[in-house]
Amino acid sequence: MNFQERTPSLSSRPSTTTATPRRSSSSSFAELHAVTIRDCVSFSNAWQQFDETGELRQPEPARKTMDQMLSRLGWWARALHGAREATPYR
């Protein structure tokens, strides 16, 4: 079984690469009139990134990335909240 057969997608289009499910979910969010952000927090070589208790060995890089991502998500939340109050979405 290959990746495309194992990976559920929110889109009716078939997946062709590992990045496609993320893009597919973005188009599904657009269909729901939701906004996506490009930022994400990821852990390459995850088994080496975490200790036996599940704690990050070096949390600062992930914390910095998460702070940036949440800052941008907060910006969009405030911007859209104000816009929806000024002009209700129909």
* pLDDT, tens only, 32-85: 777 778 888 888 888 899 999 999 999 999 999 999 999 999 998 999 899 989
pLDDT at 2 over 70: no
Which position has the token pair 């929110």? 10
H/E/C letters for each residue in 8-59? Answer: CCCCCCCCCCCCHHHHHHHHHHHHCCCCCCCCCCCCCCHHHHECCCCCECCH
CB atoms < 10 A from the CB of 23, how many? Answer: 15
Structure confidence at residue 42 (pLDDT): 86
- Report d(CA 4, CA 21) in Å as an integer: 9
User: What is the predicted pLDDT for the residue at 23?
Assistant: 59
Top-confidence residue, 90 or 59: 59
pLDDT tier for residue 14 given thresholds of 50, 70 and 90: very low
The backbone torsions φ and ψ at residue 56, rounded to the nearest 5 degrees and listed phi first, read -65, 135
